[in-house]
Amino acid sequence: MLLFATSIKLKDKAKANIEAEWEITDLGKPSKIVGIKIMRTPDMIAISSNKYIESILIKEGLGQSNSVSTPIDPNIPLEPNPKGNFGSQSNSFARLLRELQYIVNATCPDITYAVNRLGSYTANPSLQHVTALKHIL
């Protein structure tokens, strides 16, 4: 559990309330949690999932890919998998989609539309959908 407060007094009060109900261990200020890097300065807290994203890129064989300006190409219409073509049916599309959904929830809300749009093709993804999913990365 991460505890954030606008003052030390509020943080200590919240911590005491939690400690009154449960046994806790204070691990101090975090620098990383569940693949998310936490950076602090006196004026701000910033989070980043760059290392997690890089690990996905490498796993998908996209480590040397060039970046793109938009998470989904507006010139390529996404359509259901054609009849008679059963697509990949493997879990690789769903697995990659879950990893991207985690990134959306944790640090990158700007790719939400693209990830959710492709989520509607999870049951029967085509190569076009897999390509669009990798485009997001």
pLDDT digits (tens, 9 = 90+) for 42-94: 888 899 999 999 999 999 999 888 888 899 988 888 888 876 566 555 678 89
Question: What pLDDT sits at residue 89?
Answer: 55
Question: What pLDDT sits at residue 25?
Answer: 92
pTM over 0.95: no
Mean pLDDT of 1-7: 86
The string of pLDDT tens digits covering residues 93-133 is 899 999 999 999 989 999 999 999 999 888 888 888 889 99
Q: What is the DSSP code string of the chain?
A: -----SSHHHHHHHHHHHHHHS------S-SEETTEEEEEETTEEEEE-HHHHHHHHHHTT-TTPPP-SSSS-TTS---PPPTT-----SHHHHHHHHHHHHHHHHT-GGGHHHHHHHHTTTTS--HHHHHHHHHH-
Residue with tokens 């975090």: 30
